[in-house]
A and B are shown apart, each in its own frame.
Chain A
Amino acid sequence: MGELRLMKGNEVIAEAAIRAGADGYFGYPITPQSEIMETLMVRKPWEETGMVVLQAESEVASINMVYGGAGCGKKVMTSSSSPGVSLMMEGISYIAGAELPCLIVNIVRGGPGLGTIQPSQADYFQSVKGGGHGDYRLIVLAPNSVQEMNDHVGLGFDLAFKYRNPALILSDGVIGQMMEKVELSDYKPRLTEEEIIEKYGDWAHIGKPANRSQNVVTSLELQSEIMEKRNQHLIEKYASMQEDVMYEEIMTEDAEYLFVAFGSSSRICQKAIELARAEGIKVGLFRPITLFPFATNQLKELGQKMKGILTVEMNAGQMVEDVKLAVECKVPVEWFGRFGGIIPSPQEIVDALKHKIIGG
C-alpha cells in the first residue's frame, strides 16, 4: 500500500511528477491549474531528485522548453489551462512531428476566448482531433478522480515513451480543485545519463560521440516522398495505440440505456445512474479513460445492444460525434450537456435521459 493522503487534484499532479522520476517541468501560471507549479516550487524537487522546475515567460516558451527537454531523452512536462494550451498548439504539433515523448496537462476551463475560469470539457476536439496543424494525434487520458490524476502521470509518461509521442491529461477545474483521498505512487528514480544513452541514444540530442552519426531532432522533411512515408509511419503508430485503449463500464450488465461520459461528467453520471435506477430505469455508464485511442470497438459492441445512448459532456456536444461513429448510428445517440462553467446536476441528466432518449 502506497502513502495515503488527502490532496487536491492539481497538487497530486505535481507530487506524482516528482515520484514518476520526471526530469523537468516548464509552465506558466493560469487558473485553474496554477497549484501545479506552485506545489512544485514549494516542494523544491531540484534538491531532492534533481528535477528542474522553471517558470517560463509564456506557454509558447514552456512547450518549446518541453520540446528541447524531450529531445534530450528526458522525462519532461508542462501544464496549463485552455487559453494556454491553445498557445502551445504549434509546439505540440512540432513535438508530435519530431516524435518526442512528453506529458502535457490541460485543466480545462470554459471558452472560447478568455471564457470562464470555471470547469469545462470543451477542449475535447482540440485534444483528440488535433488542435495544432498537420496529421497528428496525442495520447489523451481523462482522469475522473484525484487518484487517477496521480495514476495518469506515470501512465502518461510510460505511454509517451512507449510510442515516442506526446501524451495529454485532459482534466478540468472540478478534478483539479477537488480534494480526495489518494494513494501516491512510489518513487521511481530519474534515469542516469548512462541509462538515457542506452535507451534513447539512437535519437536523443545528448552529444554525438565519435562512433555514431548525428542525432537531429526535427519535424522538417522537404522531400515529399520521404515526408509521405513519415506520415504513413505516424498513421500506423497511432493505429497501433489501440492496444492501450482504456475504458470503464459501470452497471452495464442489465442496462437498457447507456450514458457515455468522461472525466468529471462520468462522476456525475454515476449519481444519475442511482437516481434513474431508483425509478426503475436500467441505465449504465461507459467511460472512455483514453480519449485517444478511443474505445470504438468496445463501445460498438456494448452500445449496439442498448435502446438508446445519452452522451453527457460539459461542452456543446463534442465526444457525441465519436460515440455516434462507434455505434454506427444503429441506436439513437443524443447529447446532453451544460457549459460556460456550469456543472450539470444528476437530476438534470436523468431528466435529459427521459426526454431525449426514453420518451424520444
Chain B
Amino acid sequence: MADIDIKDIIREENLVYKKTDVLTDNVMHYCPGCSHGVVHKLVAEVIEEMGIQEQTIGVSPVGCSVFAYNYIDIDWSEAAHGRAPAVATAIKRLMPEKFVFTYQGDGDLASIGAAEILHACNRGENIVVIFINNAIYGMTGGQMAPTTLVGMPTATSPYGRQIDLHGYPMKMTEIVATLPGTCFVTRQSVEKAAAVRKTKKAIRKAFENQKAGKGTSFIEVVSTCSSGWKVNPVKANEWMTEHMFPFYPLGDKKDCEKDPAEDYEKYMKG
C-alpha cells in the first residue's frame, strides 16, 4: 500500500467540515461537555453564512461566557452582570444598521438582569438574545439560579431546591413570549446533532428577523453544566433530557411571520 501523507487527506475535495473563520483559534476555557462552546460555534457559523462579521457587535454577560469575545471574532462589549440587554439597546439604537446580540446565562438574564431583559423585549428592541439556561450559576461554583429545578441540589440549596424556601423555577421564555415586542421566541438544546441543527436554524432565523427589523428574537438553549451539576458530561445530557426537558419543553413559543406590531391588537384584546 502506498504511503498516505496527511496532505493527501486534507485536500479541498475531501473537505466535509471546516471550522468557521469567525471562531478564533483560542482554546476555549469551558469544561468538557459544556454547552457554551457549541452555541458559540453556531452563532459564529450563522455570522459567517450571513456575511455579517464586519457589522455584528456582541454583548457578553457576566457568567462563564464572559470571555465569549475571546472566541467569536467580532467587536464586543462586555456588560455588567445582567445588563447586556440595556447595553445592546443603546448600541442598536445608535447604530441601527449593525447586527447586535446579547449572549447571557440564566443567572445573568433571569435573576439580576430580569428587569433589563423584560424591558428590552417589551420595547421590542431589534436585537437577538441568546439565553443559555443551565439551571445553575456555573461561573461562581454552582449556586442556585432562578431556573434551578425543584429538588435539584446546588451549593446554596444543598438539600435540593424547596418551593417554600426558594420559590419556583422561572420560565423566562414563556414570560417573554407574552410581550408584544418579541417576534420570535423559542427554546432549543444542543445535546445531539439533530438538536444542534435546529438551534442553528433558530439562530439564523433570529438574525434574519433583525435584518428585517421585526423586533426582539429570544432563543433559550437548555444547557448542561457538568461541573455545576457535579456529574460527567454524558450523565449531564441524560439528566437534562430526563429532568429539564419536561419542565422546559423545547420548541417555538412564538413566531410572528409578519410585523409584530400587527399582533398588537390581538394583544390588547387579551
Q: List the interface of chain A (C-beta within 8 A of B).
A: 23-24, 26, 52, 54, 56-58, 60-62, 64-69, 71-72, 74, 76, 90-91, 94, 98, 205-210, 214-220
With an 8 A cutoff between CB atoms, is B74 at the interface? yes
In order of increasing CB-CB distance, the 10 nearest A-B pairs are A68-B87, A68-B90, A218-B78, A205-B75, A64-B86, A65-B90, A64-B83, A57-B119, A69-B90, A61-B86
Q: Enumerate chain B residues within 8 angstroms of A24, measured Cβ to Cβ.
A: 90, 93-94
Whether B86 pairs with A207 at a CB distance below 8 angstroms is no
Q: Are B74 and A214 in contact (CB under 8 A)?
A: yes
Q: Bound complex: CA of A54 vs CA of B98, how far in Å?
A: 19
B76 close to A (CB within 8 Å): yes
Q: Does B91 contact A (CB under 8 A)?
A: yes
Across-interface contacts of B74 in A (CB, < 8 A) = 207-208, 214
Q: Of the listed stretches B36-44, B53-61, B202-210, B248-256, name the one at the interface; the rest are far from the partner chain.
A: B53-61
Q: How far is the CA of A76 from the CA of B119 in the complex (A)?
A: 20
Q: How many residues of B contact A (CB 8 A)?
A: 31
Chain B residues near A (Cβ < 8 Å)? 53-57, 59, 66, 69, 73-80, 83, 86-91, 93-95, 98, 115-116, 118-119
Interface centre among B55, B56, B116 (most CB of A within 10 A): B116
Provide the bound-state CA to CA distance between A71 and B91, in Å: 8
A207–B98 Cα gap in the complex (Å)?
8
CB contacts (< 8 Å) of B69 on chain A: these are 214, 216, 218
Closest to B116 in A: A61
Set of chain A residues within 8 Å of B80, measured between Cβ atoms: 64, 67, 90-91, 94
Do B91 and A76 have beta carbons less than 8 Å apart? no
What A residues does B118 contact at CB under 8 A? Answer: 57
Cross-chain pairs A/B with CB under 8 angstroms, 25 sampled: A56-B119, A57-B115, A60-B83, A60-B115, A61-B83, A61-B115, A68-B59, A69-B94, A71-B77, A71-B91, A72-B94, A72-B95, A90-B80, A206-B75, A207-B54, A207-B56, A207-B95, A207-B98, A210-B54, A214-B69, A214-B74, A214-B76, A216-B76, A216-B77, A217-B76
Task: Give A90 to B87 CA distance when docked, in angstroms.
Answer: 14
Partner of B54, one of A67, A72, A208, A220: A208
A208 touches B75 (CB 8 A): yes
Contact of B53 among A26, A71, A208, A217 (CB under 8 A): A208
Asked if B78 and A216 sit within 8 Å, CB to CB, the answer is yes
| Docked pose: A32 CA to B79 CA in angstroms | 29
- Alpha-carbon separation in the docked complex, A98 to B73 (Å): 19
Q: A61-B119, A71-B77, A94-B80 are in contact. Are A26 and B66 (CB under 8 A)?
A: no
Q: Is the Cβ of A205 less than 8 Å from the Cβ of B91?
A: yes
What A residues does B119 contact at CB under 8 A?
56-57, 61
User: Can you add 18 more A-B contacts, CB < 8 Å, to A64-B86, A66-B90, A68-B87?
Assistant: A52-B93, A57-B115, A57-B118, A58-B115, A60-B86, A61-B83, A61-B86, A64-B83, A65-B89, A65-B90, A67-B83, A68-B79, A71-B77, A206-B98, A208-B54, A208-B73, A209-B54, A215-B75
